[in-house]
């Protein structure tokens, strides 16, 4: 295992940004920036032993400063949507920016992915880097000084393990996730409609309309195009005449994963490219995962001169339900003052036999 670093660029402010390269003994590696704690590369072998980069992203810092698609982003304090950009905690209302329709999306428009992070630990033994920052009281409208860290570990088993941990001095919202787009045929190889996907979730949260706020109830996936309980091509039913898919232009929905218990890390999803043989298992202790099929990616100038288009990558964002802070029957994203927030998600890459 080895960890190296190099300068990636400079922000508009002139502040230097570093890239950290986490490589295992086989030569597979992951790369992370201290700007946004962004995941910029995951390079793993295909069925012929050739290293392929399986996450979408950019070659330059200027593009990451813009990054309207949230490529590789750590999302915080709250992933996904909050209706009306408003929520209440202990009788006090908090107001956030409305940056998508009438709602707040991913805590933006200036979320964790647009902040500088500090290196808290760099472990050669674990092949890991831990990045941290203080999100001050009132940042983006959220209460409390929130000390947060994100640890990336890349194992000898080609598993990228992401651990989030934090504490706040006031009761706040904590629902962090990673917004990487995966293409197991390699970034820039075209769309992901031929990928096979399994989601271990018998229920999903349908949305009311194209603004993508859930209705507040769970519905079974069985008998609908939303069903991925058995491996199915992503493209098989993505354009079906099914109202939920019409609302969101394809898959962009939250799945309630099976066998959830607090702290229980279990397999929640798997994906596979028949072109390269690369498969990916997703394990997490989160109750839910957002499956987004990249429906709104258009003409993004990505790595290596590639132009990313519609459905050229997919996201599996571990989380609680969208708008959970305003929905009593959903899993709570509330972090009480003095309590510790901790969440783990891993992506393990291997060749499907």
Bind-site residues for beta-D-galactose: 80-81, 179-181, 252
Q: Which of 106, 153, 167, 179 is catalytic?
A: 179
Closest CA to 158 of 55, 29, 48, 274: 29
Options 113, 153, 317, 321, the catalytic residue: 317
Q: Is 179 a catalytic residue?
A: yes
Q: How far is CA 78 from the centre of its chain?
A: 12
CA geometry: angle at 268 spanning 53 and 198, to 5°?
A: 70
Q: Give dist(CA 107, CA 96) in Å, integer.
A: 8
Closest CA to 297 of 57, 38, 69: 69
Per the listing, tokens 């329709």 go with 101
Per-residue 3-state assignment (H helix, E strand, C coil) for 223-258: CCCCCCCCCEECCCCCCCCCHHHHHHCCCEEEEECC
Q: Which residues of 27-60 are buried (b: 16+ CB within 10 A; e: fewer)?
A: ebbbbbbbbbbbbbbbbbbbeeeeebbbbbbbbe
Residue 99: CB partners within 8 Å, gap ≥ 6?
Answer: 105, 108, 109
Positions at the binding site = 80-81, 179-181, 252
The answer to whether 317 is a known catalytic residue is: yes
Q: Which has the closest alpha carbon to 34: 152, 166, 139?
A: 152
CA angle 26, 345, 174 (to 5 degrees): 145
Residues annotated as catalytic are 179, 317
């Amino acid at each position: 295992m080895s960890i190296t670093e190099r300068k990636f660029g400079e922000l508009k402010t002139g502040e230097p940004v570093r890239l950290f390269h986490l490589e295992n003994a086989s030569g597979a590696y992951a790369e992370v920036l201290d700007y946004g704690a962004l995941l910029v590369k995951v390079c793993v072998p295909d069925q012929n032993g050739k290293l392929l980069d399986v996450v979408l992203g950019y070659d330059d810092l200027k593009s990451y400063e813009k990054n309207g698609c949230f490529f590789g982003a750590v999302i915080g304090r709250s992933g996904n949507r909050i209706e009306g950009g408003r929520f209440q905690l202990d009788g006090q209302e908090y107001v956030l920016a409305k940056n998508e329709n009438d709602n707040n999306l991913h805590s933006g428009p200036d979320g964790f992915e647009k902040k500088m992070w500090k290196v808290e630990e760099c472990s050669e033994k674990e092949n890991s880097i831990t990045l941290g920052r203080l999100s001050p009281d009132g940042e983006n409208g959220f209460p409390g000084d929130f000390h947060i860290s994100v640890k990336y570990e890349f194992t000898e088993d080609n598993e990228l393990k992401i651990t989030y941990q934090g504490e706040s001095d006031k009761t706040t919202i904590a629902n962090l996730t990673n917004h990487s787009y995966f293409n197991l045929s390699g970034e820039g190889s075209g769309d992901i409609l031929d990928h096979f996907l399994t989601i271990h979730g018998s229920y999903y949260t349908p949305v009311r309309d194209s603004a993508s706020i859930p209705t507040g109830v769970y519905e079974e996936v069985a008998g609908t195009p939303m069903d991925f309980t058995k491996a199915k091509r992503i493209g098989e039913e993505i354009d079906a005449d099914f109202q939920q898919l019409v609302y969101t232009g394809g898959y962009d929905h939250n799945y309630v994963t099976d066998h959830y218990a607090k702290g229980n890390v279990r397999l929640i999803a798997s994906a596979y490219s028949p072109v390269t043989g690369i498969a990916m298992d997703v394990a997490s202790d989160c109750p839910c995962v957002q499956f987004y099929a990249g429906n709104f990616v258009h003409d993004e100038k990505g790595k290596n001169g590639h132009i990313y288009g519609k459905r050229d990558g997919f996201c599996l964002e571990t989380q609680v339900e969208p708008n959970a802070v305003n929905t009593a029957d959903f899993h709570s994203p509330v972090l009480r003052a003095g309590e510790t927030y901790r969440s783990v998600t891993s992506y393990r890459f291997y060749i499907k036999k």
